[in-house]
Structure 1
Amino acid sequence: MKFLPLGNEPVPLNSDPWLAPFREKLRERSRRAVATVKRLTGGKSTLAEFASGHEYFGLHFRDGEWVFREWAPNAVRITLFGDFSDWRKLPEYRLNRLEHGVWELRLPAETVRHGMHYLLFMEWPGGSGDRIPAYARCVDQDKETGLFAATVWRPEQPYVFRHASPPTPAAPLIYESHVGMAQEEPKVGSFDEYREKILPKIAASGYNTIQLMAVMGHPYYGSFGYHVANFFAIASRFGTPDQFKALVDAAHGCGLRVIIDLVHSHAVKNEVEGLAKFDGTRYAYFHEGSRGEHSGWDSLCFNYAKPEVLHFLLSNCRFYLDEYRVDGFRFDGVTSMMYLHHGLGKTFTGYDDYFGGDVDEDALTYLALANRVIHEVRPDALTVAEDVSGMPGLAAPASGGGIGFDCRMAMGVTDMWFKLFDLPDQDWNMFYLFHELTNRRRDERSISYVESHDQAIVGGKTAIFRLADAAMYDAMHAGSQNLAVDRAIALHKMIRLATAAAAGHGYLNFMGNEFGHPEWIDFPREGNGWSLQHARRQWSLADEPGLRYHFLRDFDRAMLEVLNRNPEFFRRRVQTVRIDDCGKVLIFERDDCYFCFNFHPENSYFDYGFEVLPGEFETVLDSDAPEFGGFSRRAPEQRYWSRQGQSGAFITLYLPSRTALVLKRI
């Protein structure tokens, strides 16, 4: 993703003096990536051209006939069967073995038709089993039997995209979404419903990028899309491939870019539906032994050293860019990929943790290659890394020893907020708060957020629920007088504004959290009686004027409007103006905007003074305004003129308790 070279641009990776002892390690990582590209391509093609396995493997209609190919080196016989064979395993549908473990079958055009279902019968020394092809582009579940099978997807009128991707925004303002739980009704939502009902809400909100979860094929709905079985197939419970294309196309038409969660950190253990023991061995795609087991996630870990695995995963990156025209990816579970211990029970305390024997250098090489492929195919694509470890160079250019992600998630920010929720307001330390909001590597871009889906999963609580707790059930109506809810609403607005305004290079919100969606997320499972009650979004709460949720939604929109007024906002540095821990006041400046926060639960300040650049200032946002559910303690649309003091220009203003104020220098 391209950014203009302004004040908030990352500096070179080698500018970090703490990396000096490890620079040879960084150079070695770069050399490994270069050597791996040469090994994969033989110097005869680009890496992006190499990453086109999806056009070779799987089922394709080529030159008037059907061609099916699969990689299964341990198999001794493979038979294609399905609707076309009346589900019999007939000899005429056996694949022929080619070189290097590749199998092939060619069929006349009339043999296979759109919508037919099929499977592989895989035979290996000492065993056999049904398998879904690894490169299957469409996988459906039979509603009666619950069984999964690949589906031929070749409609007579293929979907034609109507809209180009919107221009790259100055900064990604990401709306994290889950299609299945996006509807208000307790059911599994569809791509079409999301396109018709949810896209207009997002388009009106001020966000410019949608991050879609659970897009890749996963057999268990409750996995949130993170136990992937079918990497090239869209999750069919939400709709067809063409319906997903229509969703992406419509988003582009609304001016929204679309990124999806890419789960290459592990794979589900399912054998029939997934890749586990695909050809009778566990080591076709995954490591053998304990290294291939992810104990924390009950899943399998890819062997990133194998050329065939790299071919599979790199092609998967390109596939979604080519086929569905998505605009990038959020790579899930990057911490788990980069370390042999997967980050489980590990506290990262120093740079030695990033370069020791626990680092999976093969995984780092894969991540570097994945970013290279993605940006070769789509230079404007956005890649975001989810990493909690703080690995240096993850979002730095590969040319300087980095891995090449465009951004990394600032996961320490949400951790900070949820730690503060455990403390009384008067114990919130303003120095700690501001440090965590702005604590990021200068050589990498980052995206901040208050909470994502992680904080809302069953067993946890959203920010609004942590702040208001049980009072949300009976005190969110407009006429209520409840101190807990008053506090929650006031802090909810302040916390989001502080996070977004101080963010490095972008901001993220999980759907519904902008209006304080109540309760938690819980997908249907045996433990809750297979209920969908908590796997939905109650949008009507924010549309009901008699409830207070709309105040939070309206504030979120106004906040983003302030940030969107100047496309250069996120390219400017955050400058400290005042950190007053005793008074619980925090003031910082960015792009001629002064963000003033009074976190004190009781004290309001009259004539609170602080230094500014000389000039006139207008009020552009007041969290205490009545339209945002505030107490209207300040006159609206006030203007201020700086005065000259001994140490420079300053202004004074009334700063009520638990409020945030944004002043813009005219």
Structure 2
Amino acid sequence: MEYKKIITKDDCYMFGQGTHYEIYNKLGAHLMEIDGVKGTYFAVWAPNAVNVSVVGEFNNWIGFDHNMEMENDSGIWELFIPGVGEGEMYKYVISTKNGDTLYKSDPYGFWSEKRPGNASKVANIEDYTWKDKKWHEKKENHYEEPMSIYEVHMGSWKKDFVDENDEDGFYDYKRLAKELVAYVKDMGYTHVELMGVLEHPFDGSWGYQVVGYYAPTARYGKPVEFMHLVDEFHRAGIGVILDWVPAHFPKDAHGLAMFDGTPLYEYADTRKGEHPDWGTKIFDYSKTEVVNFLIANALFWVEKYHVDGLRVDAVASMLYLDYGRQDGQWVPNKYGDNKNLEAIEFFKHLSSIMKQRNPQAYIIAEESTAWPKVTADPKDGGLGFSYKWNMGWMHDFLEYVKLDPYFKKFNHNKMTFGLTYAFSENFILVLSHDEVVHLKCSMLNKMPGYPADKFKNLKTAYTFMFGHPGRKLLFMGQDFGQLQEWSEARSLDWYLLEEPEHKDLHEYVKKLLHLYKKYPAMYTETKGYDAFEWINCNDNDRSIFSFIRKTGEENYKNAIGFVTNFTPIAREDYRVGVPKAGTYKRLLTTESGETKEVKYKAKKGECDGMPYSLDMPLHPFESVIFEFPKVAATRKSHAKSTKGKKAVNKK
């Protein structure tokens, strides 16, 4: 029986132009009813195949019983199969020009078989009822709002081996929707960044070698259950960021590599199409259909799954043709240099269409070089990203904090240099998973000294980080002092919270996160250097940094001060300069058990180049965050207020 075709000439044209931004509604597997018959419609792009057929549970995996037809010489093959329902597994059987037979998963499939299986599964993602309307009705400019990100690998956040036959112990999306959401909200993070959501075959890749770009991993449940997780984060007031990998993909036989017997998704020339270090394929950004696949995928996660942002992995590897290569292993562009012009245009296209269709969404670049204008508008020669990971700051910061205190005074500039370029991009300060693996030590064990000193040092390091301009990101476990390096194969060591020092660190980070959200001066970034002022950046002998965060208002209204002592030496006579008279209030100290309210009365007299100073005795490794005096009412406004009261009394 013949059924009407779903793929139209317009679909083929737009896909060929790279502008079919909802191509996922046509390609892939879609449950539907045609001429009164229920079944599943399959469509796949394989322009160089001799024949394509669909196999699955419905035909006992026997090839060539369900041959597809190519539509309009577009390279798109399609077929409606009656009776195929939700949850059924399938693959495409591709006959190549070389006479090979390939069994491929669906590049546009919405659901996958749980690894080690690799078949695609028919899924219905249209009927979920979203409950996050209030979240999406918010019209805030995210550049003006706080952003403190909890980076989490869901498979190793917590494990529970309740089933003796379950060798993974994974929490599913439903359980994560209760426990992970509650944890992130209680701690005070504003966002969560989820690693490894897109389907991938190998746990050890952490989700950075993707096969199923349109499928949330089956490790933790069904697609609609992942929707529920996103929904619950939003209902708790927490934004959701996904790791997204348009830079490369693995060579697994069931995946995108040599999809129709030819280098379809990847560059044909291995000098452009393969990463020698990673053993992966590189997308061919010169092909409009490949660009369409990726850009539609980015929009898919924002529009179908309601995620708020995408953190783009390995951006530098896309921008530079010689990334990870020696001379002779790469091909210069038409101008003879090392810039990948096609990847540059891809980013500009992606950021422009995302901003047009989803202006509240954001795209974050993991970019580790000095490439200019990563977060500038494409109209101004930029790439159009919303934010960029500040890898330079991270490197300098970690090099400094892990030093023995004696050597810190010789490396003082490592902590001050970042301020020279802090507002050149929209930065996120990151202490990510990459910094606590491969023998780099956990954050706590990077710290020098005896165990008690390590905790104090880390609290002061976090205080400096939260005072420094830039959004914040901490990887899971860093907020309570995980001792072991992270591994995707095991849970975080939550039992450490039973130890007083770990619990104290955990409570301190929680206070820091809530303070960050409460005081706009701590997250004001759009004012540039009007939002930051050094008090003393040259106190290298004592390894103390003091500075002010501001909202850009006059007279230091709503300003917050920071003092961080990076040595185990008490400074009982320490004084910090301040710009105005009045009484200052301590908001937070790293000293354990210090809960009493402390106020500092400003004394007139020059200190740190300021006209006033505060007596602020410091304990070893102590950091203090303090609030500036509230701006007093002017005489004029006070007179108006008094006049009003008299009028009321007289009446």
Query: Normalising by the residue count of structure 2, what TM-score does the alignment of the two structures yield?
Result: 0.84
Counterpart residue type for residue 665 of structure 1 = F
User: Match for 1:639 among 595, 599, 604?
Assistant: 599
Counterpart residue type for residue 615 of structure 2 = T
Partner Cα separation in structure 2 for residue 180 and residue 344 of structure 1: 33
1:449-528 to 2 correspondences below 5 Å? 449=430, 451-467=431-447, 484-504=450-470, 506-523=471-488
**Is contact 2:12-2:74 (8 Å) kept?**
no
Q: Is 1:52 paired with 2:5?
A: no
Counterpart residue type for residue 562 of structure 2 = F
Partner Cα separation in structure 1 for residue 159 and residue 547 of structure 2: 39
Aligned residue number for residue 139 of structure 1: 112
Aligned to 1:139, the other structure's residue is in SS state: coil
Aligned to 1:107, the other structure's residue is in SS state: strand
Aligned to 1:551, the other structure's residue is in SS state: helix
The Cα shift of 1:61 comes to: 3.3
Aligned to 2:623, the other structure's residue is in SS state: strand
Segments of structure 1 that go 5 or more residues without pairing to the other structure are: 1-39, 347-352, 469-482, 524-531, 627-631
User: Match for 1:652 among 607, 615, 626?
Assistant: 615
Deviation track 1:217-248 (CA, whole Å, cap 9, x = no partner) reads 10001110001111111111111101100100
**Is contact 2:583-2:602 (8 Å) kept?**
yes
Q: Is 1:590 paired with 2:549?
A: yes
Partner Cα separation in structure 2 for residue 402 and residue 607 of structure 1: 45
Partner Cα separation in structure 2 for residue 281 and residue 512 of structure 1: 44
Aligned residue number for residue 496 of structure 2: 541
**Is contact 2:403-2:447 (8 Å) kept?**
no
**Is contact 1:79-1:120 (8 Å) kept?**
yes
Q: Is 1:558 paired with 2:524?
A: no
Partner Cα separation in structure 2 for residue 94 and residue 51 of structure 1: 24
Partner Cα separation in structure 2 for residue 91 and residue 444 of structure 1: 56
Aligned to 1:620, the other structure's residue is in SS state: strand
For the structure 1 residues 452 and 356, does the alpha-carbon distance in structure 2 shift closer, same or farther, using more than 3 Å as the test? farther
Q: Is 1:154 paired with 2:124?
A: yes
RCO comparison, higher one (Cα < 8 Å, 6+): 1
Counterpart residue type for residue 119 of structure 1 = K
The Cα shift of 1:187 comes to: 2.7
Aligned residue number for residue 219 of structure 1: 201
Counterpart residue type for residue 109 of structure 2 = A
Q: Is 1:171 paired with 2:146?
A: yes
Aligned to 2:112, the other structure's residue is in SS state: strand
**Is contact 1:81-1:119 (8 Å) kept?**
yes
The Cα shift of 1:583 comes to: 1.5
Aligned residue number for residue 13 of structure 1: none
Partner Cα separation in structure 1 for residue 296 and residue 568 of structure 2: 54
Deviation track 1:382-404 (CA, whole Å, cap 9, x = no partner) reads 21100101211111112211111
Aligned to 2:516, the other structure's residue is in SS state: helix
Partner Cα separation in structure 2 for residue 422 and residue 257 of structure 1: 32
Q: Is 1:195 paired with 2:177?
A: yes
**Is contact 1:218-1:229 (8 Å) kept?**
yes
Counterpart residue type for residue 339 of structure 2 = V
Deviation track 1:418-471 (CA, whole Å, cap 9, x = no partner) reads 32255321211464133244243534210113x210012243212202226xxx
Deviation track 1:253-299 (CA, whole Å, cap 9, x = no partner) reads 11001010011110011121x10010001244434322111011110
Partner Cα separation in structure 1 for residue 159 and residue 84 of structure 2: 39
Segments of structure 2 that go 5 or more residues without pairing to the other structure are: 1-9, 161-167, 328-332, 551-558, 630-651
Partner Cα separation in structure 2 for residue 418 and residue 343 of structure 1: 24
**Is contact 2:521-2:549 (8 Å) kept?**
no
For the structure 1 residues 583 and 311, does the alpha-carbon distance in structure 2 shift closer, same or farther, using more than 3 Å as the test? same
Counterpart residue type for residue 491 of structure 2 = R
Aligned residue number for residue 347 of structure 2: 367
**Is contact 2:266-2:284 (8 Å) kept?**
yes
Partner Cα separation in structure 1 for residue 403 and residue 566 of structure 2: 13
Q: Is 1:252 paired with 2:207?
A: no
Counterpart residue type for residue 359 of structure 1 = K
Aligned residue number for residue 350 of structure 1: none
User: Match for 2:256 among 251, 254, 275?
Assistant: 275
Q: Is 1:316 paired with 2:286?
A: no
The Cα shift of 1:128 comes to: 1.4
Task: Judge which range, 379-388 or 600-609, deviates more.
Answer: 600-609
For the structure 1 residues 609 and 112, does the alpha-carbon distance in structure 2 shift closer, same or farther, using more than 3 Å as the test? closer
Partner Cα separation in structure 2 for residue 607 and residue 441 of structure 1: 28
Q: Decide which structure has the larger Cα Rg and report it.
A: 2
Partner Cα separation in structure 2 for residue 280 and residue 133 of structure 1: 15
User: Match for 1:377 among 347, 354, 357?
Assistant: 357
1:203-242 to 2 correspondences below 5 Å? 203-242=185-224
Partner Cα separation in structure 1 for residue 578 and residue 326 of structure 2: 45
Counterpart residue type for residue 663 of structure 1 = F
User: Match for 1:576 among 530, 534, 543?
Assistant: 534
For the structure 1 residues 42 and 570, does the alpha-carbon distance in structure 2 shift closer, same or farther, using more than 3 Å as the test? farther
For the structure 1 residues 581 and 443, does the alpha-carbon distance in structure 2 shift closer, same or farther, using more than 3 Å as the test? closer
Aligned residue number for residue 405 of structure 1: 385
C-alpha RMSD over aligned residues? 2.6
Partner Cα separation in structure 1 for residue 64 and residue 340 of structure 2: 44
Aligned residue number for residue 615 of structure 1: 582
**Is contact 2:276-2:324 (8 Å) kept?**
no
Counterpart residue type for residue 77 of structure 2 = W
Task: Judge which range, 452-461 or 573-582, deviates more.
Answer: 452-461
Aligned residue number for residue 6 of structure 1: none
Counterpart residue type for residue 244 of structure 1 = F
**Is contact 2:375-2:425 (8 Å) kept?**
yes
Aligned residue number for residue 182 of structure 1: 157
Aligned residue number for residue 601 of structure 1: 568
Q: Is 1:104 paired with 2:78?
A: yes
The Cα shift of 1:362 comes to: 0.8
Aligned to 2:614, the other structure's residue is in SS state: strand
Query: Normalising by the residue count of structure 1, what TM-score does the alignment of the two structures yield?
Result: 0.82
Sequence identity (%):
24
**Is contact 2:445-2:483 (8 Å) kept?**
yes
Task: Judge which range, 162-171 or 204-213, deviates more.
Answer: 162-171
